[in-house]
Amino acid sequence: MNALRVVIAVLSVGTVSVAGIYLAAWVDLLVGRAVAGLEVRPLDALIAPLRWGAATALKARTTTERPDAETWALAPALLAALAAVGLAAVPLAPGLLAADVANGIVLFGAAMALVVVAVFLQGWSPNSPLPMIGGYRFIAEGLSYEIPLAVVLIAAALPARSLAIAPIVTSQEHLWNIVRQPLGLPLYLMAGLGLAFWGPLALPGGQDLAGGSSLETSGVSRILWRLAQLLVLVAVAAMGAAVFLGGWLGPLFPGAAWMIVKTVILLVPLIATRHFVARVPTERYVVVSWAILIPLSLLDVFIAGIQALVAAR
Amino acid sequence: MILNVTFWAFSALAVFSGWRVFRADSMVRAAYWLLVSFAAVGIILVLLRAEFLGLILILMMGGEMTIMAVFMVAFMMNPAGLNPMTMVHRNSVAIVAGVVSFLAVAALGLFARFPVARAPEGVDPTRKLGVELLGNSMLVFQTAGVTLLAAMIAAIAISSARGRYGDADQGSVEPDQMVTAPAGDVAAAAAHDPAPVTSPGAHQ
């Protein structure tokens, strides 16, 4: 029975990954066309990601002079694996959890901390200047978003008195963390954009670097890189829904339905930032993060700590 | 059975990647082989039911190895970190030191008395660790933490672009030079050569 549950949970992670990536690509196209003032064609946008994938796979693979072929091939697979681990730490419904560990928040944090390694390797391996600048940029970006990300997640775990995700969800039975810790979700989403190097924080792959860290990447690696990046966004949205929006809690419908609805509610604005918010210069982002976002996240954990002390009395 | 296979697999990976660190010909490769080694040890810690310690080891090392790689590449004046280099120097000394430390650790493993009692059921290692860190040893850990934080802030203040001698990208003149040399000379020197940099690699 237990083994069956694990199989179902692993399959659900796979299903959510595929569906989430497809939805993210679809929403990205729709919002992009709407913002550009073009006619929005939802059905065409359903086929467009497949068309892009087929075209990219059929193009001749390019390479560079003396790349590090092993790490170059590893980088997209590593990013996809890390995003999948992050998603596996999120329970879809009570008991429906692929990575059933006592320290789910720490597992998510560990997987997301290694995203820096994947992006840096993607930029460093081709032995080419612009991707390498993109890789170094992402290290600066990673050092800036990681601390707020970790601190707001710790703050969300405080009321539950547990590092496992399921108790964090059930601790929001009376009041969701988004209300209890108003700073938490905005800071988390900003850090999540950095983590997925998406939209305003697409610093390693910026257009000013002609594509940056993935400039030289072609063929299947290119497709996998794009899928993995979208999967990071899905994992960020799912974890945000679980720890800030009450996860599976909700009336009438089954828990998994609520979890999916809440994940989509977070995923769509995250995707849309790419078309509404300009890309931030790296230096400004680093300064804002260290001077404003990290102090704000410390304030967030301080508030959560005081609430936990008052609740304990 | 599965536990044993996993343990031996990750032990072998930890040793193999530790060996690869010294065979790598680039700081970036060496740093990430070391990360693989640490991650394998982290997974062994998880197998030993020290889940929190294992995961936090992987979390910390992910960032640390990247930072180490960047610093090493910067110190080597080799921006891509792809130029060939070697991780081993002074081979005879290194061999003696390696053999001696291996024998010492192996002797420890063979002859030391390890506790044989299994961890009792129902114990939460994360909670026990928290009580240990923030209970009896709180003063030690908090003092070390604040000291490290102060050191980090000081390092940032010294190396910041908006440093105490002016903006780093504008070039700067140390205060004692201003005292010993006439002001006009310093200004003229600064105008001609705004960022006097001596390259460590120039004489090699």
pLDDT in tens, B7-49: 999 999 999 999 998 888 888 888 899 999 999 999 999 888 8
**pLDDT value at residue B171:** 59
Number of domains forming the structure of chain B: 1
CA A224 to centroid of chain Cα atoms: 15
Say if B84 is an interface residue toward chain A (CB within 8 Å).
no
Amino acid letter, residue A101? V
pLDDT tens sequence across B148-161: 989 988 887 777 66
Instruction: Evaluate whether residue B172 is within a structural domain.
Output: no
Instruction: Evaluate whether residue B142 is within a structural domain.
Output: no
Instruction: Evaluate whether residue B63 is within a structural domain.
Output: yes
B199 pLDDT tier (thresholds 50, 70, 90): very low
Instruction: Evaluate whether residue B169 is within a structural domain.
Output: no
Element (H, E) at B162: strand B162-163
Residue spans per domain, chain A: 2-312
Interface predicted TM-score of the whole assembly (ipTM), two decimals: 0.86
| In chain B, residues 39-78 whose CB comes closer than 8 Å to chain A | 51-52, 55-56, 58-60, 62-63, 65-67, 69-70
Strand partners, B166: B163
Domain membership of residue B41 as a residue range: 1-84
Calpha distance B114→B21 (Å, rounded)? 30
Calpha distance A160→B115 (Å, rounded)? 34
Structure tokens at B10: 């990750």
3-class secondary structure, B163: strand
Instruction: Evaluate whether residue B118 is within a structural domain.
Output: no
Q: Which of A2-16, A91-105, B18-32, B171-185 has the lowest mean pLDDT?
A: B171-185
In this complex, the residue of A110, A132, A143 whose CB is nearest that of residue B55 is A110
**Residue B103, pLDDT above cutoff 90:** yes
Query: Shortest CA distance to A244 belongs to which of A194, A293, A295, A176?
Result: A176
User: Which has the higher per-residue pLDDT, A94 or B183?
Assistant: A94
Q: Which of A134-143, A194-203, B74-83, B115-124 has the lowest mean pLDDT?
A: B74-83
Instruction: Evaluate whether residue B102 is within a structural domain.
Output: no
In this complex, the residue of B28, B62, B124 whose CB is nearest that of residue A124 is B28
Say if A154 is an interface residue toward chain B (CB within 8 Å).
no
Q: Which of A3-17, A212-226, A267-281, B153-167 has the lowest mean pLDDT?
A: B153-167
